[in-house]
Every structure is written in C-alpha cells, then in structure tokens.
Amino acid sequence: MNLVIDVGNTFTKLGVFEGSEIVYKKIIKQENFRDTIQKIREEYPDIKNAIISSVSNLQDSYIKYIQLSFDTLVLDHLVKMPFKNLYDTPSTLGIDRLALVAAAVDQFSGKDVLIIDAGTCVTYDFKNKKEEYFGGAISPGIRLRYSSLHSFTARLPLLQLTVPKNHIGKSTEEAIHSGVVFGILHEIDGVITEYCNIYPDLTVILTGGDAHFLSKRLKNSIFATSNFLLEGLNHILAFNNNK
C-alpha cells in the first residue's frame, strides 16, 4: 500500500492506495498533519511506501516523520517521470503539474490530453500521444481574481464566490461576480477550443478545488475528477519503485 501526500497552498491532501485504487482520502490543514498520519498508520499498517509533493512549505520535521515511518520519495524535478519532459526550465516547473501529467499518461496513454487544474491558480498542461510533455499556461484562479480586484484597487470590495444571474452587472458587486465567474469560464472554454483546433481528438481533464463548480458551467466536453493529482503521484511512486 502507498501513502500519497499533496501539500498545496491552502490544504494538504492525503490518499492511501492499494495498487491503483484509492481506499482513503482526507483533506487537512498542515497543523493537523502529525495526528492524521498517526491515525493512518494505525488504520493501514500495510503501508510501506510514501510520496510527498509540496508546492508550499512543509515543515522539515513532518518530512522526517514520514521518512522514519515509510520508504519515502520526496518529489522534485529530478525524479524519474513516466513521460518525456520537454519543458524548457524543468527546475522551475511546479511538481503538482508533473503529477497531473503522470496521471494523464497512466489513464490516457496514447492520447492528446489537456489537463486543467482549477485551484488557487488555473494551470493548463498538455501531453501528446507520444507521452511528451510540452508545458502549458498559468492564470489566476477564482478566489485569486476576487482578491486581486480588492487588493489592487481603492474601493472594490472583497467578495465570495457567487454565481451571477447574467453577464450585465447592475451594481458593483454584480459586476465583479460577472467579471470573475464569466471571465474564467470564457477563458477555459477558449483555451479548450484553441487546443481542439490543433488536436481534434483532444481529451480534456478538469480537476482541482473548483472543478465541480466549473464543470457544470463549461460548454466544452470534459472529464471532471477530484483525485487526479493524487492518482498521478501514486503512479510516479509506482513507476520509480518498479525501475
């Protein structure tokens, strides 16, 4: 069994895998890390291997705690990947994006795939039928857009996500909701359309914290999945253990 740990900007996601099947998943704040790991150890004593992916600052003591308990792979750009990485600056590439591409290789082998991860940022990553990864794009996520409008202007309020009734905002708050929500929807639909013009048989994966909200409102056909990044990390771990 494998323990998969994804440390994000806001929350930490943990998954326990038996082979390729996820049997346990939990989302926590970092201060609950040690207690949660202890409970997982007690409930799943057969876990032998672990992988840690951190785009935030995971305390060194937590990493050492995992390493003392399991045979641990700490993900970075030097770890062997199940695809050819053609990114020009691999050392600057977010390791969460590597995991997403690994999941696409595992589950959609031999296909052109665009992976969209909608969280704090929206990332777009593309791998082709030859399992070559080229890169993609990064843009602000929903909450970052709300926050930016408030932080970088004098009078715009900080609002929470609300579905606008139409494109024409008749108040400042309605205008912000329209700009943020419809703006990100049009952006994602537009990116998908551009890729489809080049790759007609494109498979599109939507994942991340805002995937459920967005998937119901996008025009293009997509696969929405909440565990894609964890599955990709598990595949990277298995790939390295089998080499």
Q: Are 202 and 195 in contact (CB under 8 A)?
A: yes
Q: Does 124 reside within a domain? A: yes
12 shares its domain with 108 = no
User: Which parts are annotated binding residues?
Assistant: 6-13, 87, 94-97, 117, 120, 172
Identified catalytic residue from 60, 71, 96, 210: 96
71 noted as active-site residue:
no
User: Which parts are annotated binding residues for ATP?
Assistant: 6-13, 120
CA nearest to 236, candidates 100, 140, 66, 121: 100
Q: Does 242 reside within a domain? A: no
41 shares its domain with 147 = no
Q: Does 198 reside within a domain? A: yes
Q: How far apart are alpha carbons 139 and 120 in whole angstroms?
A: 9
69 shares its domain with 89 = no
Return per-residue pLDDT of the chain as tens, 243 residues. 999 999 887 789 999 999 999 999 999 988 888 999 999 999 999 999 999 998 777 788 888 989 999 999 999 999 999 999 999 999 999 999 999 999 999 999 999 999 999 988 999 999 999 999 999 999 999 999 999 999 999 999 999 999 998 999 999 999 999 999 999 999 999 999 999 999 999 999 999 989 999 988 898 878 888 899 999 999 999 999 986
* pTM (predicted TM-score): 0.91
User: Which parts are annotated binding residues for substrate?
Assistant: 87, 94-97, 172
Q: How many structural domains is the chain composed of? A: 2
Domain that residue 9 falls in:
2-74
Q: Give the domain CATH number at 211.
A: 3.30.420.40
Mark which of 39, 74, 109 sits at the end of a domain.
Answer: 74
